[in-house]
Each structure stands twice: as structure tokens, then as C-alpha cells.
A and B are shown apart, each in its own frame.
Chain A
Amino acid sequence: MGASPYQPINGCFDEMVGRDGAVRDAYQAVDRWLVETDPALLEQRRREAEVLFMRIGITFAVYGEGGDPERIIPFDIVPRVIDATEWERLARGLEQRVKALNLFLCDIYADREILRAGVIDEALVLRNPAYLPEMNGFRPSGGVFTHIAGIDMVRVGDDEFYVLEDNARTPSGVSYMLEDREMMMRLFPDLMAAHDIAPVEHYPSELLGTLRSVAPKTSDRDPTVVVLTPGIYNSAYYEHTYLADRMGVELVEGQDLFVEENRVYMRTTRGPERVDVIYKRIDDPFIDPLVFNPNSALGVPGLMTALRAGNVTLANAPGAGVADDKSVYVHVPDMIKFYLGEESILKNVPTYRCGEADDYKYVMDNLGELVVKEVRGSGGYGMLVGPHSTKTEQEEYAERIMATPDEFIAQPTLALSTSPTFVDSGVAPRHVDLRPFVLTGANGVSIVPGGLTRVALREGSLVVNSSQGGGTKDTWVLVPPTGGKEAASC
């Protein structure tokens, strides 16, 4: 396999080195760079990145573990490269999927055709905790419920991408996509110049355009957009400030807003100012203490009434979570067929629902091979990774499933692709996933090429979540060779 000392893991698809042992086209320059660069220099650059992230304050909070509450997410200096053809197909699949999710949300809060047609079980939707009866009959501006969706993908083969999970509520991580790119430009300009990489820097302006496009039609003023954050103790606070800053809009907390005559205003030094679109980074149960959690100090009393009166747009709309629930996930390919009349371009991971008798039996008999998750869990907490668990852990987990089978789903343990990663022992394969961000406004879908690549830094680990020791990588989508630099340089 050439001069590269890099050795992929047997049985896992590797992003750089193909099954035949040859370096894949998209990775030619990265491979050369890894071979030719002194590891001491790579280590020095890695440290530089760490210092920069800390100084800029790109940190996240980890709950309940003691120690320094503000940490940086480890950044890996080896980029993850996706070629133009791969990306083109992914992008089509993402657009199709998110379109269907939005159609589904509009439908179930209105006519519920998909339920009446018997495609999805009514109870699964209507008894779902993420389903909000308060949203019944609501027609969102532009027909969009989930304006910002993050779709978690994994790769297991050359052309085999699976969707692991949809995030239709408040997906985070896009600031890392942008900051990782900044960091690579700073650290390795030569390596970047050797590639034609699709830019991602315009994401904030795409986001602002998306948010403005769904402003309530009742107002003919230039719409005022704000980002609503739970505050500085939220784990994604950095991202909230980052996005507000790059869009040039106010970053507000609940206490900065108030509702009067069903209109939303913010308190400013000039007096009250009307707000039209709120990019909300607060979970639904906390947005309005008059309607949901009465103890919430994060929300705005009266916000739901203002929303229902059509005087303000919330992105994403409350109630969008019912589309990304792990038990509804199973049915996304059915939605695509039902609403769009198309076959799903992106594959779902086969999923067993422990609430069903047959599936239950299968899961209990095969705990050692499966990944079991809580239906309502997130962040990689509370899951059982069968092949990496002990007998005792399996037995304890089995008891939890037995107590509330409806609360669990299981999936086969996928051989997640690996990507070369700079770790203590040098450059080694580590498992990665990919979260692209899909924006939907009144004028359709837009996707910035790339996304957030998360990497499980511990050897053999399949858990990429930042709360579980995962790191991030810059994700490069190469532009097709026909366009771009060569043509422009003539």
C-alpha cells in the first residue's frame, strides 16, 4: 500500500485507503501530506489549534462531571474529504428527506392524511411526547416547520451512507463546521491550496436569508430577526453568539423579550422594538411558561399566542420534534414515498422497536450484537453498544428494556467508516460520522457543502458525541473538476 504507514482496520470502510489497499482519489494529496510532514510539526500545529480554540473561547459545557466546566472539543487536524460525486448524491438525498419531514409535520398538525391512510400508526404520532396538540391547525409561514435540520449520517461502504438520526428541533454543531475550516486555513494553507474545496463560509448568510424568507406576511417592514438563547450556561452558548454575530442580529434571552397584544418586542436602550423572526435555541417545553413548563424562566410568556396569531415566526417551529423521534425515524422512507412518490435516496439503518413483540424477542436474544438506545435519549447518553459491553451491563440493560420496552429501539452495530486521525501514536484510523445542515425557507432547500464530521478519538470507540470524548474534523467537499480554478485561471 505505497509509502503510507497508515493501516486501516480490517472489515471497516476507510475514507482514505480503499479495500484494494490503494489511496482513494479524493485523498491523494492528504496522503502525500501525511507521509511527507514531520510528525513533530503536526503535533505543534495540533497544540496551536488547541491554544487558539481556548483563547477564542470556542468551548462547550459538560454537565455534572466536575472539573473545568468549559472545555474545548478536541479538534483533529486531518481533514475528512468527500468527493464531488459522493456529495452530489448525498445532497439530493438530504433535500428529499428534509422536504418529506416538513410535509409530514404540516400534515400531522393539519389534515393528518398520512395517519388516515394508515401509513403510520396514529398512536405513534399522537401519543408521542414531542407531539404538541397546541400546534394543531397551525399553518407555518412558507409551509416550513423545521428550518434548520441536522441529519446524522454514517458510511459503511463505497456508496453506502445510512441516516442514523434526524435532528429536526435544534441541531447544533454548525459553528464547529465553520471554525474548523477557519482553523485549517490558519494552520495548513498549503494543503488547502492543493485542493478545490467548496466554501462553507456563507452559511450564516444563507441562514439569515432562510429566516427572513419566513417572516410573517402581516408585516411590511424589513423583518427583525433574533437568536434566542437559554444563556451563557448552555452547552452550545458559543454557537449561539457565533451565529448571532455572523448574521449581525441580536442574541436575546427570554428576559429580553415580552409580548404585548400578541406581538413580540425586545427591550432596548431606545425602548421596545418589534421582533418578527426568532431563531430559537431553547427546547419547546421552555419557550412559554403560560402554555408549557410554568417554571421556565428561559421562555417568554405569551409567545405561543403571538405565534398562533401569525405575528412572529419561530424557527424551528414548536412541535417539530415529533419528526425526529427515534420511533418515527423508522417511517421516514414511507413518508418520502407518501408525500413525494419517490424512493428514499438515503438509507435508514434497520431498526427494531422493542415495543413490538417480534422485535422485542430478537433484541433480547441478540443484545451482544446490537446498539440499543432510548427513544427519547440524545447526546450518546444511556445507550448500550452490544459488542463493547460486558455481560453484567447487558443484563442490567435488559432489565431496563423489560420494564418499559416502548422506550427503546435497537439497531445492528454498523461498521462505521474510519478516517485517518492524528492521535498520540501517530496517524491512525478512527470512526467518524457526518452531520450536514439542511436549511429550508419559503423558497426551498439549501445545503452548504460539507457539515460537521465527528470522530471517536478513543481507539475502537463508535461513540462520536462530544459529551462522550468525541472530537471534530474539518469536512472538505471537493468541487467538480470541470468548474473552479482551472477554468478561471485561463
Chain B
Amino acid sequence: MLSRTAANLYWLARYMERAENLARMLDVAERTSLMPGGALADGVSDSDYNEWHSVLTASGNATGFFASHDEPTREQVIHYLALDKSNPSSIRSCIETARNNARAVRTALTADLWESLNQTWLDLIATKREEFRRGELQTFLDWVKERTLLFSGGATSTLLRGEGYRFLRLGTFVERADSSARILDVKYHILLPDDQHVGGAVDYYQWTALLRSFSASRSFYHSYRSALTAGNIAEFMILSQEMPRSLTACLAETHGLLEHLADLHGRHLECHRLAGQLYSKLRYARIDDIFEQGLHEFLTGFIAQNTRVSDEIAVAYLS
């Protein structure tokens, strides 16, 4: 397979995953900002400010936003993250970039997959909307999630299980690991264990919101059958093998896909070593040790290592 084709598939999947994660984050922010006194416990008087600012940080958009805006108001942040053409990481730009990547490698996609992506883009540019009132945002975010799920479903059920499929899935899991870690890092303060203290109302809201952003509020109860505690939630989102958005689950996929490529091509490279190392670190970690090391330090370390894996994938295959 052409290196450029592999690169396009990899980035196509990363951008679709990014669009989906942005939709999830905005969804949670919208809900949290509606909760009564949601942010008072943090000692921040303006709850909107707190929530919308943290979405900017979690999605890595804070610097870009503040270069052209003063206040992270609900309207401004939503516009910047959902629709702004000048922001290369907005949902709109992500879908457009994904579709352009797909167009450049149409022959590596099935007709079903290409047509669904193209339709997503056509629908998107047909929406001339510039803002969302309360209530309207939800419809848009649901649409984004539906279209991105259709993409991953279409990829899983129609693509030939060749190299192209592996590069596409690699993009998905490298992006998802990065995004999951960033969401956790922005919220790490609410996950710090306070002995065996079961959270009050405010903690409960925050934790539920966090689980929601991973589409994991129900699966948490299925897995733990116990009350929400900070330690359990952190363990679930970082170390669970079963939760498809946990850091460990993402790395298991990345590692497996890379091993498959190594067998196919008969070469083991730096990206394989790094991914294997990172995966085994997570696979055999205990949540108590992570807390002892410092959750924030652990997460920033993870983000850096995951980025190195991505860089080495580029060196090995994509250029």
C-alpha cells in the first residue's frame, strides 16, 4: 500500500474520532452547565466559565480560542468548537478534513464507507447554522455522534481486513487514547480519592458527567455494581480492559494492530517497541500506584508517550 494512502487513512480516522470526542465533550459541558450550582463547590462563582473553559482545555483548543476571543462564553465556545471554519479542530473542520482525506484515497475505501462520509459532509455544509440555542445543540451533537458511529460501523462491517483497515483503526485508537487522557486530565481533581468518602451531590454530578462523556455511565454500574467512588471511576476509565474508551483498551488495540502489521511486513520497528512498552505498563498497573505517583503526572506522561507512538508510526509507515 502507498505510504500516502496509509497516512490518509490514518488521519481520516483520527479526524472522525476527534469530531466524535468533541461532540461528547460539548454534550457533557452543556449538561453540566445546566446543573444547579454545579461549579460552586470548586469555588468558582461563574459555572458557565468553568465548564466551557475546561472543554477548551480538554480538547487542546484553549490557545487557539484565546488568540481570537476574550471570554469563553457558552455561545463563543460552542461556535468555535462546533462550526468555526477558521478553527482547524472544530467539528466542522474535522469532518471536512476527514472527507478530503477520504476523497484522496477513495479507492482504498468501500463505496458504502465513502458515500456515508460524503453524505455527512454534504449535510454539514448544507447546515448554514451559525449558532445553537439551548435545546438545539443536542440535536446537532446527536447527529455528529450518529454519523461518526456510522463511519466506524461502516469501516468495521465493509472494509477488507487488509493493511488499509489496520491503518484506519490505528488512527482511531491513537486519537481516542489521546482524547480520553486529556478529558481525564482536565477533570483529575475530582477523581482524587478522599479516603473512602462517597461523594456529595456535586461530586456525583461531575462523576456522572465524566462517565457520560465516555458513554460509560451504564457500563460502569454493570462492571462495578457499587456506588460511585473516585477510585473506582479512575480505575474504570484508565485500566479497564472491557471499557472501549479506557486508556488500556485503546493501547491494547494499538498494540495489536501494530503487531499485525509487523507480522505482515516482517519488520519490528521503534513504534512496535514503544506501543508494547506503554501497553504493558498499563496492563499491569494498579490504580493505587497511579494515585501515589500522582494522577496528573501519570496522565501527562501517558499523553506524551502516546504522541511518541504516533510519531514513530509516521516514521515507519506513513512517509
Q: Which residues of A contact B (CB under 8 A)?
A: 54-57, 231-232, 237, 241, 244-245, 250-253, 255-256, 266-270
Contact = CB atoms under 8 A, between A and B. Distances in A.
B293 interface: no
Contacts of B103: 57, 232, 237
A412 B1 CA distance: 52
A137 B23 CA distance: 62
A267 B100 CA distance: 21
Chain A residues touching B, majority SS: mixed
6 closest cross-chain pairs (CB), A and B: A245-B107, A241-B106, A267-B3, A269-B317, A57-B118, A269-B1
Contacts of A244: 107
Contact of A54 (B2, B114, B122): B122
Contacts of B3: 256, 267-269
Contact of B2 (A55, A232, A245, A266): A266
Contacts of A269: 1-3, 6, 163, 167, 261, 265, 317
B108 to A, nearest CB: 9
A54 B3 CA distance: 29
A256 B2 contact: yes
Given A241-B107, A245-B106, A267 B4 contact: yes
Nearest to A252: B2
B44 interface: no
Contacts of A245: 106-107
16 contacts: A54-B122, A55-B119, A56-B115, A57-B103, A57-B115, A232-B103, A250-B107, A252-B2, A256-B2, A256-B4, A267-B2, A267-B3, A267-B4, A268-B1, A268-B2, A269-B6
Given A232-B103, A269-B265, A270-B265, A56 B2 contact: no
Contacts of A57: 103, 106, 114-115, 118
A100 to B, nearest CB: 35
A399 B265 CA distance: 65
Nearest to A267: B3
A252 B5 CA distance: 9
A256 B103 CA distance: 17
Contacts, number: 52
Contacts of B106: 57, 241, 245
B104 interface: yes
B227 interface: no
A152 to B, nearest CB: 28
A269 B108 CA distance: 14
B111 interface: yes
Interface string B102-130: 01101100010011001100100000000
B161 to A, nearest CB: 15
A276 to B, nearest CB: 16
A55 B126 CA distance: 13
B114 A250 contact: no
A267 B317 CA distance: 10
A269 B162 CA distance: 12
B4 A231 contact: no
Contacts of A256: 2-4
Contacts of A250: 2, 5, 107
Contacts of B115: 55-57
Q: Which of A231, A250, A253, A270: most chain B Cβ within 10 A?
A: A270
Given A255-B4, A256-B3, A269-B265, A56 B111 contact: yes
Interface string B247-275: 00000000000000100010000000000
B125 to A, nearest CB: 9
Interface in B11-64: none
A251 B107 contact: yes
Contacts of A241: 106-107
A266 B6 CA distance: 13
Nearest to A250: B2
Given A54-B122, A55-B122, A267-B4, A232 B104 contact: yes
A403 to B, nearest CB: 42
A153 B107 CA distance: 32
Nearest to B261: A269
A281 to B, nearest CB: 14
Contacts of A268: 1-3
A89 to B, nearest CB: 37
Contacts of A237: 103
